[in-house]
Structure 1
Amino acid sequence: MFSRKHVETLLQTVLHDDDILAAYHKYWQQYSQGAIYVNQLFGYLNTAYIKKRKLSDADLIYGEINFDTNEQELEIYDLFLHIWKRHMITPLQGQLTTLISQEIMKDRNGGAVNQAVLHGVLDSFVSIEAYKKREPVQFYRSIFEDRFLQETGEYYRQVASQLRSEHNCSEYMEKVIQKIRHENMRSRKFLHPSSYEKVSEEIQNKLVDDHIQLFHAACEEMLHLDRRKDLSNMYSLLKPIQNGLNYLIDKVENAIKRTGLEAVQNLKGKNIPCTFVKSMLEFPKKYSELIRIVFNNDLKFIQALDKACVYAINVKIKGECKSPELLAKYYDNILRQSPKEISEMELDEKLDNGITVFRYLEDKDLYQRFYSRFLAKRLIYNLSTSMDAEESMINKLKQACGYEFTNKLHQMFTDMSISRDLKKKFENFCRKKKFDIGLGFSILVLQAGAWPIRQSGFPTFAIPRELEKSVQMFETFYNNIFCGRKLIWVHYSCMAVVQFNYLKKLYTVTMGTYHTAILLLFNNTDSLTFQELKETSELPEKDLKKELQVLVKSRILLTEGEINAYSEFILNRNYSNKKLRFNINVMQKITAKEVEHTNRAVDNDRKMYLEATIVRIMKARKCTRHILLVNEVIKQSKSRFTPNVNLIKKCIEVLIDRNFIERSLSKPDEYNYVA
């Protein structure tokens, strides 16, 4: 009773004061401090009577009981606060909230405001119900916050309209950032912490979200002109908005895609593979720096950069993606012997650069095919800059894709090592048999499944007498060691080192086996007709013409006119060359025919891989829907290549025809595994 009368007396004093907020704040401080003293004085009453009748904190917070405040059930301090709320704040709430809003508006306009008073008054709205466990700021929210947020929104709606009419997008963003920064500081000066985020969200909605089309219209030009300050401002303004960055992210991704596509389309010059890798490394650098500096390494922008790089590197020009072949050629150029020596550090850096591009490749299986073909050429013709560099490259690929990806590549190195041992054993075998081959003979025995070498379809020919003994002797040696293994001689990949002893200078020429077989026929004569060469070499007419064209073009053989069945070929005894050692058409590069064969082989491999994947999935699931099966096949195949949905459908049909799976009778879009 005494407390209520005291508060009513203070109310009258406040009402008659010129500065109601200051008077309210003064008496609130005195009253709240006095309430603490009285609470301490009646501490035994709180403990012995009130607390025993009160519900527990758990009941108040988590219980389903709707507990209405009762003056007789409150502790002394809480009771005093309740009296202040009922007899001071409730009668004054209209005036107090109006005066608070006016003071905050004055602060927005640069006027002087008593921060301690304003903050103290608002804090009293929260403190008055601090004893409530459920929503202790409910009273503060109901009498002040809801109204304040509405007024703030209306104020900044007008501010936004004025700023848009007076400024362009760049200037508008600068002004908005200042407004948001000042309002956030104002919130922390005056308001309760529960209001900070709400006020910030309200300002964002009125100044940014309601005008988001303005930002969208300007962002593409800002990206094109590389206006990083404006882009940074736009990023900071759009980030708090739900899905606000999506449009900007799309524009950044499209800009990177355009740059990457231009880099791919503008490839020109002699060394296109190196230019390709260099371009694919350089074009993301600009945007990587942009994302780091302007967009604060935001994960969504990093993902957009990755997507754009994947698009640029895997783009199909005229229906074909050249990236796997170009990257394989890039490594071939690096790992192939070169007159210009590079340091180990520089070599390792170049290998890592290629791996960076490789990680973005979708058709990794196609790259593997090309790489294995180039590697085979380097190993067979002893063209590698170093075996350490070759093994380092294989290890980098294994780290990127796993052991299965490099299994056959490892086997190629194993075969080379075994071949060196076989060569030594063959030499010992010949010494024991006291057999003189009569020439230098080196052999490579390679596993058919590991090497990308055609085993059939190459032209047959009569092995020259000079080579026949060595071939027969090696077959005898090999059959003695291995029982049941079959040797297939790949003559089109062989080469011979031939000396020209009929000229003034001694020339040493490296050439293919077919060229060697043709030239050896001129040991006993200076002139042979096309028919004589055909009958003796037993080469098909088409292949014989091709081999003779090379010898005629290099001026080793002479003939008149176009090569035909009636041509006569004369050994050029006046032949001269600046080089004493040179090569004639040794198959060191990948031909267009081999590229075509590689693409066909990859297509066949993909069909078998997809069929095996489908069977594996169906065996595990027994029954699944069409869309789920397709998605799972794509998911499991992505590490090797991105499969075409139509190809997956064809593989499913093939497996149905072969009775591996069957369509469900009850559901047409469902498949069952046939055990």
Structure 2
Amino acid sequence: MPSVKPIVSTRRFTRKTESLDDYWSVLQNGIDKIFDDRVAELSFEKLYTTVYGLVLSKNGPQLHDRLTEQLSTHFIEVRKSFDGITGADGLQHLNVVWKKQKIYLSQISDVFVYMDSVYSKRENKPDVVSLGSRLFLKEVVGHVSDMLKSTLVNEINEARKRGGEYAESGVIKDAISVLNTLELKDGMSSVFIMEFEPFLLESTEKYYKDLHSQLTQGDGTSHWKDFDTLLKLLKAEDLTCNNIFDDLDTISKFHNIAEKALVTDNIQEIARYNVAKIVNDDQKDVFSKLLAISSSQRDKNVIFNQLSQFIVKEVLSIEIDASAKKKSVAAVAWIQELIALRDKYYELGSNLSSEQAAGFKCINEAFGKASNQIKVFPEFLSLYFDNFLKFAPKEINSNARKCVHFFKLFKDKDAFEVIYRQQLSRRLLQQKSNVVREQELIFLLQEDVGTSYTSKLRGMLRDFHLSTNFMQKSGKTLCQTRDVSVNVLTHMFWPLQDSQMNKDVVIPDSFGEIKTGFENLYAKTHSGRLLDWNYHLSTVEIAYQFRHSYHELSMPMFSGVIFLLFKNHQSLTFDEIVQLTNLPSQEVRKNMITMSVAPKTRILQKDPPGKSISNSDSFSINHDFTAPQRKVKVLMVVLNNKPSAANDSTRSAVEKKLLNSRLAVINAAVTRIMKRDRKLYHSELQEKVIQSIPLFEMNSNLFKMSLEYLLDNEYLQRDFDNTTIYHYLP
């Protein structure tokens, strides 16, 4: 019904002040006609003039009270129209009734516009429309609120069951819009926000808890944990809310309640079930959907933590091939399985959105955590690099780069450096590597740990490069008839072990001439340097014509020294060889087993024959020796066929060296920190030391050993009153 604007009269209101009763009947009759849709019978000029005169004659308060009473009576009658109406019809009736009442109130407001602008504004009274809205809320909505609440709950739940696609969604939305327009007081929130929303939120929580209970008791006991089911329910909730609410804050509240009841309250079991399903079924493209079931970072962290546990478990379950004859073979196979596992989980994380990027951090941390639990990991990683570089690759391939990534994740990098340096020295001295590739790999390693970590490795490559250049320039001057290659190694870079037998051994004159010639030649260009010869790292090639074939024998230096003794002797006993070479009996025994017992390298003949060596055994050249190839490598065999004992010895030496170097690092860190802070509690000092050491994980035992050393040597002192406090002693 169109609103009729009042005609404002220009006539002066000349009547004397008269009572409200004389004119209220006119206004009351006009209001009744508005409510009866008989606006056409009204004279708005007369009604406006009446209100104007009453307000002007100081009857504003009485007029406002009479209007309030009239509107209340009307809305009481309106309320009766709701009797017997329930369900969606009740919501629809609310929408229709309120739509009419807004028109009525607008028309009445046109009549009382002078009262609103003069009296109501001055006295801070509600205008006609606001007054009518509050009375409608009080007399109509207030009495049918229980019916409206239960209807809204039932209709919204029905919409949820239908996936948000519900025919009555428009009716529900209009009813909520009506409730949102009805304010309790000026400037206050609407009745929907204050009363209906809390009730609906509470009922929503109950709905989803009941739904969760039904799902857990259903036939498919895991159905409630399946993220597809949860996503479907949450999407239905979002669609339902978007269809009936306009306020985004309200929509968020309902979503959070559904998410909490379905997901957050059960996130541990949901994460465990779905992560296992995704990993075991190799569903790499759905992990992002699993993360989408919750907007809470806490829930996502639970999922990430569960994924981390799966990764750690799978890494730790990779078996080491105990049947492999060489540890390098087992190490390469183990690392390749680790790379395949890494590719699997990285592919799983490749579909994550930018908001879910924490997934990659979780995957990396999990691999790092697992690596730190595997004692042989530094050795196996170094062996993989060793095997890769021995084949002189043209470039650093993707697998090698992935291993560099593993290197960045685990903590005990100092252990890796010790092992890698030993293997690098063997590759360089045996010329089994491409120096350019070695440099590239070291550069990749130092990207994470800095140049100080790789300084010794780079120093080894520099020594090798300088030695090669020196021999290219001076090699022919040193010896015209033999190919000689000498590497000058800086002691602080290379993993050299001082051995007395290097100084005591008696070498042949031909070797002595080369040694003296090189020392004189080297002294001309590098004055003031002292050279120590490490024969145990040297190899020698000897050409020999046996009875049936000619061979070039490549062997360790000490084996060559022993073999050349037979140039001047037809036969020698074990004791005579020890005496002539001045080598320890154990070293001679190892070399004699290699040359007289090992089937493929039996270049000496032992008398009497046998696998054991006694001091009275006699040895001579085995002239009947033959081999398929011209070049024969005489490889040192392990004495007593106990490789594990040798490996254990090597490992214990590495561990001892690591312990000493770590204690030195901790001692330096403690001293540096205490010199700066002067006084610290035990826990504070330990925490600061841990933060200052990036290359390994310091445990409490190491820290305790360091403190005992520093206390004994009076670098630190315990407080007399509190033994947990340390003081620096300058």
TM-score class, shorter = 0.7 to 0.9
Q: Say which of 217, 235, 239 aligns to 2:294.
A: 239
Match of 2:485 in 1: 442
Q: How far is the alpha carbon of 1:555 from its aligned partner?
A: 1.6
Q: Residue 217 of structure 2 aligns to a residue in which SS?
A: helix
**Cα distance in 2 for residues equivalent to 1:309 and 1:630:** 26
What do the CA deviations read for 1:147-191 (whole angstroms, capped 9, x no partner)?
222333334444444444334333335666544433332322333
1:310 and 1:399 mapped to 2: Cα distance? 17
The aligned runs of 1:395-474 (5 Å cut-off) are 395-424=443-472, 426-427=474-475, 438-459=481-502, 460-474=504-518
Q: 1:433 is matched with which residue?
A: none
Look up the SS of the partner of 2:626 in the other structure: coil
For residues 525-555 of structure 1, what are the alpha-carbon distances to aligned partners after superposition, in whole Å with 9 as ceiling and x for unaligned?
3212223322221212221122122111322
Aligned counterparts, 1:479-490, within 5 A: 479-490=523-534
Change (3 A) 1:613 1:79: farther
Give 1:222 deviation, angstroms. 4.3
Structure 1 partner of 2:79: 15
Aligned counterpart in structure 1 of residue 390 of structure 2, from 323, 336, 339? 336
Match of 2:691 in 1: 635
**Alignment partners' CA distance in 2, 1:35 and 1:610:** 88
List per-residue Cα deviations over 1:217-276 (Å, max 9, x = no partner).
Answer: 856874685496999799468635684456655443333222211214456545212212
Instruction: Quote the residue 1:280 is aligned against.
Output: 338
Once the two structures are superposed, the pairs formed by residues 160-309 of structure 1 within 5 Å of their partners are 160-173=212-225, 177-191=231-245, 192-208=247-263, 215=270, 222=277, 226=281, 235=290, 239-240=294-295, 243-244=298-299, 248-265=303-320, 269=324, 271-290=329-348, 298=356, 301-309=359-367
Of the candidates 102, 127, 145, which is equivalent to residue 151 of structure 2?
A: 102
> Which residue in the other structure is 1:551 paired with?
595
3-state SS of the aligned residue for 2:572? strand
Normalising to structure 2: TM-score of the pair?
0.76
Aligned to 2:550: 506
Give yes or no for contact 2:155–2:172 (8 Å, CA) kept in 1: no
Does the aligned pair in 1 maintain the 2:719–2:726 contact within 8 Å?
yes
Distance 1:172 1:600, change over 3 A: closer
3-state SS in 2 of match to 1:485: coil
For 1:246 and 1:427, the matched residues in 2 are separated by 64
| CA distance 1:503–1:597, shift in 2 (3 Å) | farther
Which stretch of the first structure deviates more once superposed, 213-222 or 561-570?
A: 213-222
Pair 225,488 (structure 1): closer, same or farther in 2 beyond 3 Å = closer
Instruction: Provide the C-alpha distance between the structure 2 equivalents of 1:233 and 1:358, rounded to a whole number of angstroms.
Output: 28
Q: Distance in 1 between matches of 2:321 and 2:222?
A: 34
Shift of 1:634: 2.0
How far is 1:279 from its partner? 1.0
1:391 aligns with 2:439: yes
Deviates more, 1:440-449 or 1:527-536: 527-536
SS of 1:511's equivalent? strand
* Aligned partner (choices 331, 339, 351) of residue 400 of structure 2: 351
1:313-328 correspondence runs (5 A): 313-316=371-374, 321-328=375-382
Q: Where does residue 617 of structure 2 map in the other structure?
A: 567
Contact 2:369-2:410 within 8 A present in 1 as well:
no
RMSD over aligned Cα atoms? 3.9
- Contact 2:153 2:200 survives alignment (8 Å): no
Is 1:584 aligned with 2:584?
no
Q: How many Å separate the matches in 2 of 1:600 and 1:188?
A: 68
**Paired residue for 1:382?**
431
Matches within 5 A, 1:11-90: 11-12=75-76, 14-17=78-81, 20-27=93-100, 29-30=102-103, 72=122, 79-80=127-128, 82-90=130-138
Q: Pick one of 121, 142, 156 that aligns with 2:194.
A: 142
Which residue type is aligned with residue 634 of structure 2?
I
Deviation of the 1:121 alpha carbon: 3.9
Q: Cα distance, 1:300 vs. partner?
A: 5.7
| 1:602 corresponding residue in structure 2 | 658
Could you tell me which residue of structure 2 aligns to residue 475 of structure 1? 519
Match of 2:541 in 1: 497
Q: CA–CA distance in 2 between the matches of 1:268 and 1:32?
A: 94
Instruction: Give the CA deviation at 1:387.
Output: 1.9
In 2, distance between residues paired with 1:124 and 1:184? 22
- Which blocks of at least 5 consecutive residues in structure 2 are unaligned? 1-63, 83-89
Q: Which residue of 1 aligns with 2:39?
A: none
Q: How big is each residue's C-alpha offset from its partner over 1:11-41, in whole Å with a ceiling of 9 and x where there is no partner? A: 24632435640333313553687799999x8
In 2, Cα distance between the equivalents of 1:396 and 1:38?
86
Shifted more, 495-504 versus 121-130: the winner is 121-130
Indicate the SS of the match to 2:533.
coil
Deviations 1:614-644 (A, max 9, x none): 112222322222112212222222x311122
User: 1:383 aligns to what SS in structure 2?
Assistant: coil
- Structure with the bigger RCO (C-alpha within 8 Å, sep 6+) is 1
Q: Which SS does the other structure have where 1:109 is aligned?
A: helix
Task: From the superposition, tell whether residues 214 and 72 of structure 1 become closer, same or farther in structure 2 (CA, over 3 Å).
Answer: farther
Unaligned runs of 5+ in 1: 51-69, 431-435
Check if 1:662 corresponds to 2:717.
yes
Q: Say if 1:394 and 1:406, in contact at 8 Å, map to a contact too.
A: yes
Deviation track 1:62-111 (CA, whole Å, cap 9, x = no partner) reads: xxxxxxxx96476x9x7455413431112222414632541451353369
Q: Aligned partners of 1:241 and 1:438: how far apart in 2?
A: 79
- Structure 2 CA distance for aligned equivalents of residues 356 and 242 of structure 1: 27
| Distance (whole Å) between structure 2 residues aligned to residue 543 and residue 371 of structure 1 | 26
1:119 to 158, 173, 181: 173
Write the distance in 1 (CA, Å) between the matches of 2:385 and 2:448: 16
**One-letter amino acid matched to 2:441:** M
- Report the more deviating stretch, 659-668 or 464-473: 659-668
Separation in 2, partners of 1:572, 1:146:
101
Which one has the largest radius of gyration?
Answer: 2
Shift of 1:209: 5.3
How does the TM-score come out when normalised to structure 1? Answer: 0.82
Question: Hey, what's the Cα distance between the residues in 2 that align with 1:188 and 1:456?
Answer: 82
Q: Measure the CA separation in 2 of the matches of 1:580 and 1:187.
A: 86
Are the structure 2 counterparts of residues 546 and 629 from structure 1 closer, same or farther at C-alpha, using a change threshold of 3 Å? Answer: same
Query: How far apart are the structure 2 equivalents of 1:428 and 1:82?
Result: 111
Q: Structure 2: how far apart are the matches of 1:207 and 1:620?
A: 54
SS in 2 for 1:123: helix
Between the aligned partners of 2:283 and 2:105, the Cα distance in structure 1 is 53
Q: Taking structure 1 as reference, are residues 90 and 267 closer, same or farther at Cα in structure 2, changes over 3 Å only? A: farther
Aligned equivalents of 2:108, 2:724: Cα separation in 1: 75
| Contact 1:14–1:23 (8 Å) recurs in 2 | no
State how far apart, in whole Å, the 2-side matches of 1:551 and 1:157 are.
81
